[in-house]
């Protein structure tokens, strides 16, 4: 083994960004990560988002030193950490299954890593207290882990990782075990916590809402590759491919070809204006909230005529599924309760949208 003792202190630049270059990884001859390049800015809340099995955890584990890449390199701040073991990296990991020592109090669980670092008692107690307060567990240090709720246990796990003062916190589906309400509350809390401590978070999730609501930027992954990197609004409004468009939010896709006047034509359905079209065909992508709903044929503008198939009332909004002759799938429109009021199955409607709301993305056929 190489001697890495010289680099053994954790005093990495707390502002460290991450630079991932050409990371590949196979398990038993199957490629799980393919040539991943990624830059994460210092202090960024960055998410790896993608369906189960796409390689998110493997990438996170490679970042944390729990898994070795077949090729490529990783820098954190100004250090190449590719060959450093986990405990010598300026990273710390929070898992979904936040196993705690059941016979130790909450405070002792949080202090565990500091004891191993042989920190003095006073300093240790101070840090633990500060951490418990940071995650809103003041006064619960003497409790036994079994006396905590799921959300509280998740906070202990965060405190336990943050007390080690990592430059980068790695979180693997760490809210997934919580029920929906608690998870949504913890998402906001986690985001606030990240702002407060100011360190880089790399958060793995398969839940697009979770990634969208917390992240500065997101890398959407699929099949061991990064499909697109962007801010949540960019990914939502300007998906680069069908895969990304379909993974983030719901979307309507209509195959189109270019036609006269820079417009787009869907055979048998008419021609449409689209600001993002540049003389090429592909898929016209329309988010459900782009649509207006008209009960009479509009005089001008983009429109499609169809019949209501289903009205779904969700309280804050309603979803309308509209069958359009010539389209395989019904179009989905999201609107206010008022707009959908009185509409029922088989009613004739026109869906309208503006040229700036449609987005042309490459066809994958
Ligand atoms: N230690 C391992 N040995 C063999 N196969 C693995 C191992 N870890 C992960 N895999 C496989 O690699 C693929 C990606 O896994 P993972 O990174 O856990 O995906 P995700 O976190 O996106 O769900 C999966 O097909 C998984 O079965
Ligand atoms: Mg995983």
How much distance in Å is there from the Cα of 206 to the middle of ligand 1?
A: 14
Q: What is the pLDDT of residue 163?
A: 92
Q: What is the pLDDT of residue 15?
A: 53
The rounded percent of the chain whose pLDDT value lies above 70 is 95
How much distance in Å is there from the Cα of 58 to the middle of ligand 1?
A: 6
Task: Indicate if the pLDDT at residue 365 is higher than 70.
Answer: no
Q: What is the pLDDT of residue 98?
A: 63
Task: Indicate if the pLDDT at residue 3 is higher than 70.
Answer: no
How much distance in Å is there from the Cα of 172 to the middle of ligand 2?
A: 7
How much distance in Å is there from the Cα of 82 to the middle of ligand 1?
A: 20
The β-bridge partners of 200 are: 168
Q: What is the pLDDT of residue 7?
A: 36
Q: What is the pLDDT of residues 57-78, one digit of tens each?
A: 999 999 999 999 999 999 999 9
* Mean pLDDT (whole number) for 297-307: 95
Question: Please, which pLDDT band fits residue 11 given cuts at 50, 70 and 90?
Answer: very low
How much distance in Å is there from the Cα of 221 to the middle of ligand 1?
A: 13
Name the token pair of 223.
């099949």
* Mean pLDDT (whole number) for 5-26: 68
* Mean pLDDT (whole number) for 312-333: 95
* Mean pLDDT (whole number) for 176-191: 88
The more confident residue out of 200 and 99 is 200
Closest-approaching ligand to the CA atom of 52:
1
> What is the rounded average pLDDT for all residues in the chain?
91
Would the CB of 57 count as within 6 Å of ligand 1?
Answer: yes
Q: For residue 28, which atom of ligand 1 is closest to its CA?
A: 4
Closest-approaching ligand to the CA atom of 53:
1
How much distance in Å is there from the Cα of 14 to the middle of ligand 2?
A: 26
Pocket test for ligand 1, best of 31, 32, 207 (most atoms within 8 A of CB): 32
* Mean pLDDT (whole number) for 258-280: 90
* Mean pLDDT (whole number) for 100-114: 91
Q: What is the pLDDT of residue 278?
A: 81
Q: For residue 204, which atom of ligand 1 is closest to its CA?
A: 21
Task: Indicate if the pLDDT at residue 165 is higher than 80.
Answer: yes
d(CA 60, CA 62): 5
How much distance in Å is there from the Cα of 313 to the middle of ligand 2?
A: 34
The more confident residue out of 297 and 97 is 297
Tell me which architecture the domain covering 5-242 has in CATH.
Answer: 3-Layer(aba) Sandwich (3.40)
Pocket test for ligand 1, best of 27, 31, 52, 93 (most atoms within 8 A of CB): 27
Task: Indicate if the pLDDT at residue 6 is higher than 50.
Answer: no
Q: Which residue's CA is the nearest one to ligand 1's atom 2?
A: 27
Would the CB of 58 count as within 6 Å of ligand 1?
Answer: yes
Q: For residue 59, which atom of ligand 1 is closest to its CA?
A: 17
**Neighbouring residues of 230: CB distance < 8 A, sequence distance ≥ 6:** 217, 218, 238
- Its CATH class, for the domain covering 251-361, is mainly beta
Q: What is the pLDDT of residues 204-239, one digit of tens each?
A: 999 999 999 999 999 999 999 999 999 999 999 999
Q: What is the pLDDT of residue 118?
A: 83
The more confident residue out of 8 and 206 is 206
The rounded percent of the chain whose pLDDT value lies above 90 is 76
Closest-approaching ligand to the CA atom of 222:
1
Q: What is the pLDDT of residues 128-143, one digit of tens each?
A: 999 999 888 999 999 9
d(CA 106, CA 112): 10
The full set of domain ranges for the chain reads 5-242, 251-361
* Mean pLDDT (whole number) for 133-158: 90
How much distance in Å is there from the Cα of 153 to the middle of ligand 1?
A: 26
Question: Please, which pLDDT band fits residue 95 given cuts at 50, 70 and 90?
Answer: confident
Pocket test for ligand 1, best of 30, 34, 58 (most atoms within 8 A of CB): 58
């Amino acid at each position: 083994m190489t001697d890495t003792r010289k680099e053994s202190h954790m005093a990495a630049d707390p502002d460290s960004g991450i630079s991932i270059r050409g990371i590949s990884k196979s398990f038993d001859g199957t490629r799980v990560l393919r040539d991943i390049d990624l830059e994460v800015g210092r202090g960024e809340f960055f998410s790896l988002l993608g369906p189960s099995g796409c390689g998110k955890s493997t990438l996170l584990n490679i970042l944390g030193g729990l898994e070795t890449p077949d090729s490529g390199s990783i820098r954190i701040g100004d250090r190449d950490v590719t060959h450093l073991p986990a405990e010598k990296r300026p990273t710390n990991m929070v898992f979904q299954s936040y196993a705690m020592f059941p016979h130790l109090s909450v405070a002792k669980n949080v202090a565990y890593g500091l004891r191993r670092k042989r920190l003095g008692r006073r300093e240790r107690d101070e840090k633990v207290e500060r951490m418990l307060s940071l995650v809103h567990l003041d006064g619960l240090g003497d409790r036994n882990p079994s006396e905590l709720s799921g959300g509280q246990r998740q906070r202990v796990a965060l405190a336990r990782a943050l007390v080690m003062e990592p430059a980068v916190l790695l979180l693997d589906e760490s809210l997934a075990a919580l029920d929906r309400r608690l998870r949504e509350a913890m998402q906001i809390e986690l985001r606030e916590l990240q702002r407060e401590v100011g360190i880089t978070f790399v958060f793995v999730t398969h839940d697009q809402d979770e990634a969208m609501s917390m992240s500065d930027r997101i890398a959407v992954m699929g099949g061991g590759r990064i499909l697109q990197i962007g801010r949540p609004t960019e990914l939502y409004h300007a998906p680069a491919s069908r895969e990304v468009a379909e993974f983030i939010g719901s979307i309507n896709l209509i195959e189109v070809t270019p036609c006269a006047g820079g417009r787009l034509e869907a055979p048998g359905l008419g021609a449409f204006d689209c600001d993002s079209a540049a003389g090429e065909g592909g898929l016209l992508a329309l988010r459900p909230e782009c649509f207006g709903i008209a009960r009479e044929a509009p005089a001008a503008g983009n429109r499609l005529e169809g019949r209501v198939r289903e009205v779904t009332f969700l309280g804050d909004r309603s979803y309308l599924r509209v069958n359009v002759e010539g389209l395989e799938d019904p179009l989905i429109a999201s609107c206010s309760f008022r707009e959908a009021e009185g509409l029922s199955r088989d009613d004739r409607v026109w869906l309208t949208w503006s040229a700036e709301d449609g987005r042309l993305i490459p066809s994958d056929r």
